[in-house]
């Protein structure tokens, strides 16, 4: 059963149903039209070029400045006094930043980056959700530097990898951040990560909590010392459309995170248009995407998408339950948020809190809801629609990935009838299909592999420093057809609605964070008492998937070891990677070639009857493991 768009939405939607037919008739012309929504220094005449597939270009002969499109253009259009950012810190401190304010701050920061020797080098940003985080991203884009944001909860080792992989010249960090009511140190972790990174020239430090920090003279500089004294205007240079904009790291099945490179013109074209189309931006909207700024969701739909459309938005530093459950609803009420884009994990958390928590707040300003990061189950969708949206707000359930750069499947509010739990259809100009391993298109209702069967402007261009890994990870399986393999399972129903069914590889999705089995297993094996580890994502009603680790130890189990290993993984990879369970076992299920059969571990954690075990070295040992887990559960 589908839910029709509210009549008011249909009458005033930014995009009409005709966009589908227009885009299908000539996809390249459709995207060229969306590129013309941007300001170009030299307008592109070229569109798509896939002659060296999977290397592609879009609008390659055009030049533009991404930051000008996001900051200067709204000011020059007479909207300098329009609020760009309502920022709220977890302790309750607040800042309101207009587009004119943002233009001045980005200009100062651009001058400061140049003074610190940053040209087109890599800048790694290790900050919480602050105004300065947005400013430094835009300043990098303004001068043609490549930014790479790292989640503040990541470990020193994870940060160091990103510093070295991109040969970063500058690290931007903070003295500390507020998390769950406490000032948490950040600079010490950044110092540990920076130690020995030979490319790193400076560490730029934002004062947030006023905490004492260690200091390396000649390397470390305070933001307020170097940025605040810079000129308030900056002449933005135009760059080629295929110039690098950012690196986005995502987990891979081989353990080493992949640094996905996104470029300027194609990325901003699709990002800006899909933001305007999917979230139906209006001049009086107050928009809020709740993602941490380090995630690609925030890059696309919290920075570049909304700002390139002149939108007023909220950004919030802290957690949704500090100082008590309902902080997000309090913020919605305070700022009159009209569009609220969040993750299914958070919706399921709200369901646990109960309807009385949102009921304490006036949510009548909301007109549109959005979901991102993982598939939202129909029960959560209906609750979100009924309780938070008051039954009146369409839900834009978006499917996309770090690799795609921007939304691929999503409804157009006011146009697309909604189906709870489904990302509906590919957006205009985009195309997907569900196929089996041989490339046969699956029948309606038959599960299979989701592929994107047509190139799109915002697609990642390569894996940084490893183009062969890019090809083998995403294009090798369907090279003959020229399709991109998403790594997600999906099903298309008889009305053409796409429903995602989760990851098909060894990457799990925990609260929207992608974690690779191999990197988790490597962290466990780095503990001196661990011999081997097999890690899978088990179903979890709140986080979608949860990390469950099966471990063999060198000297036999002991009290407290499982908790010690959980803490060890969190220390190595960050709190989001902490296993829900560590199960100590005598032997892992392995094939005769020595491969751990995670498929069987998945069956065990999901409560399914294990599949074929004939290829195991010791089927009896696996049967014992499975029986023990059932008893434990």
CA angle (423 as vertex; 421, 428 as ends), nearest 5: 160
Place of tokens 């709140």: 542
3-state secondary structure of 603: helix
At 319 the pLDDT is 93
Instruction: Evaluate the CA torsion angle 177, 179, 183, 188 in order and state its sign.
Output: negative
CA 329 to chain centre: 23
Q: How far apart are CA 272 and CA 141, in angstroms?
A: 15
* Rounded Cα–Cα distance for residues 167 and 411 (Å): 40
The per-residue pLDDT for range 200-236, each reduced to its tens digit, is: 999 999 999 999 999 999 999 999 999 999 999 999 9
Q: Are 47 and 31 in contact (CB under 8 A)?
A: yes
Hey, what domains does the chain have and what are their CATH numbers?
7-397 (3.40.50.12780), 508-632 (3.30.300.30)
pLDDT tens column, 304-315? 999 999 999 999
Residue 9 and residue 280 in contact, taking contact as beta carbons nearer than 8 Å: yes
Residue 255's pLDDT is what? Answer: 56
Question: What's the N-to-C CA distance of the chain in angstroms?
Answer: 36
| Three-state SS sequence of 148-212 | EECCCCCCHHHHHHHHHHCCCCEEEEECEEEECCEEEECHHHHHHHHCCCCCCCEEEEECCCCCC
Separation between Cα atoms, residue 496 and residue 522, nearest integer Å: 41
Cα gap 328→321, rounded to integer Å:
8
Q: Which of 230, 204, 229, 207 minimizes the C-alpha distance to 219?
A: 204
Instruction: Give the whole-angstrom CA distance, residue 547 versus residue 549.
Output: 6
Given this model, what pLDDT does residue 562 score?
Answer: 95
> What is the pLDDT, as a whole number, of residue 508?
86
In this structure, the dihedral spanned by the alpha carbons of residues 138, 139, 144 and 145, taken in order and rounded to 10 degrees, is: -100
* pTM across the whole model: 0.88
Provide CB contacts within 8 A for 235, sequence distance 6+.
none
Which H helix or E strand runs over 571? helix 561-573
| Ranges of the chain whose pLDDT falls below 70 | 251-255, 591-595, 611-612, 614-615, 617, 633
Q: Are 372 and 398 within 8 A, CB to CB?
A: yes
What local confidence, expressed as pLDDT, does residue 592 receive?
55
Helix, strand, coil percentages for the chain (3-state, nearest 5):
35, 25, 40
State which H helix or E strand residue 305 sits in.
helix 305-308
Residue 564 Cα to chain centre, angstroms: 29
pLDDT at 615: 58
Q: Which two tokens stand for residue 100?
A: 């004119």
| Alpha-helical segments (H) within 17-98 | 18-25, 27-35, 66-67, 73-74
Per-residue confidence (pLDDT) for residue 313, from 0 to 100: 99
* pLDDT the model gives residue 531: 85
Q: Can you list the positions of beta strands (E) in 472-529?
A: 484-492, 498-503, 507-510, 513-516
């Amino acid at each position: 059963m589908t839910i029709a768009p509210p009549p008011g939405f249909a009458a005033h939607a930014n995009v009409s149903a005709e966009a589908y037919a227009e885009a299908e008739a000539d996809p390249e012309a459709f995207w060229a039209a969306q590129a013309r929504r941007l300001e170009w220094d030299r307008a592109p005449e070229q569109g798509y070029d896939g002659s060296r597939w999977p290397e592609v270009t879009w609008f390659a002969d055009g030049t533009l400045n991404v930051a000008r499109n996001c900051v200067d253009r709204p000011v020059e259009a007479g909207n300098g006094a329009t609020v760009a950012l309502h920022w709220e810190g977890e302790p309750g401190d607040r800042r309101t930043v207009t587009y004119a304010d943002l233009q001045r701050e980005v200009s100062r920061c651009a001058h400061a980056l140049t003074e610190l020797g940053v040209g087109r080098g890599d800048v790694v940003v290790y900050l919480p959700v602050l105004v300065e985080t947005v400013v430094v991203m835009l300043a990098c884009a303004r001068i043609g530097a490549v930014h790479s944001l790292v989640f503040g909860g990541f470990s020193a080792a994870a940060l160091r990898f990103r510093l070295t992989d991109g040969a970063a010249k500058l690290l931007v960090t903070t003295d500390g951040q507020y998390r769950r009511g406490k000032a948490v140190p950040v600079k010490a972790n950044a110092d540990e990560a920076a130690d020995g990174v030979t490319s790193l020239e400076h560490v730029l430090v934002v004062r947030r909590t006023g905490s004492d920090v260690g200091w390396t003279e000649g390397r470390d500089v305070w933001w307020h010392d170097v940025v605040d004294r810079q000129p308030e205007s900056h002449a933005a240079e135009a760059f080629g459309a295929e110039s690098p904009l950012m690196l986005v790291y995502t987990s891979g099945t081989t353990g080493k995170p992949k640094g996905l490179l996104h470029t300027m013109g194609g990325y901003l074209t699709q990002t800006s248009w899909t933001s305007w189309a999917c979230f139906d931006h209006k001049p009086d909207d107050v928009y809020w995407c709740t993602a941490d700024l380090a995630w690609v969701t925030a890059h696309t739909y919290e920075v570049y998408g909304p700002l390139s459309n002149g939108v007023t938005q909220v950004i919030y530093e802290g957690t949704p339950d500090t100082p008590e459950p309902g902080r997000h609803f309090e913020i919605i009420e305070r700022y009159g948020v009209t569009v609220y884009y969040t993750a299914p994990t958070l919706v399921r958390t709200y369901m646990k809190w109960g309807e009385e928590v949102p009921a304490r707040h006036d949510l009548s300003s909301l007109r549109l809801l959005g979901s991102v990061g993982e598939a939202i189950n129909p029960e959560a969708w209906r609750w979100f629609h009924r309780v938070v949206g008051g039954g009146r707000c369409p839900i834009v359930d978006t499917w996309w990935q770090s690799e795609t750069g921007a939304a691929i499947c999503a409804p157009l509010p006011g146009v697309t009838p909604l189906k709870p739990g489904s990302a509906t259809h590919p957006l205009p100009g985009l195309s997907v299909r569900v196929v089996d391993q041989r490339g046969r298109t699956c029948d309606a209702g038959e599960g299979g592999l989701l592929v994107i069967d047509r190139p799109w402007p915002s697609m990642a261009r390569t894996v940084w420093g490893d183009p062969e890994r890019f090809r083998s990870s995403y294009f090798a399986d369907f090279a003959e057809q020229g399709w991109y393999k998403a790594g997600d399972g999906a099903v298309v129903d008889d009305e053409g609605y796409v429903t995602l069914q989760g990851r098909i590889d060894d990457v799990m999705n925990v609260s929207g964070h992608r974690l690779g089995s191999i990197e988790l297993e490597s962290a466990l094996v780095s503990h001196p008492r661990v011999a081997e580890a097999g890690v899978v994502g088990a179903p979890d009603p709140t986080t979608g998937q949860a990390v469950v680790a099966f471990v063999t130890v060198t000297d036999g189990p002991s009290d407290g070891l499982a908790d010690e290993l959980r803490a060890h993984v969190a220390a190595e990879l960050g709190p989001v990677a902490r296993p829900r369970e560590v199960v100590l076992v005598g032997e892992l299920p392995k094939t005769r070639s020595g491969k751990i059969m995670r498929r069987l571990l998945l069956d065990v954690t999901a409560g399914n009857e294990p599949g074929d075990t004939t290829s195991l070295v010791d089927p009896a040992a696996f049967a014992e493991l499975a029986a023990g887990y059932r008893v434990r559960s």
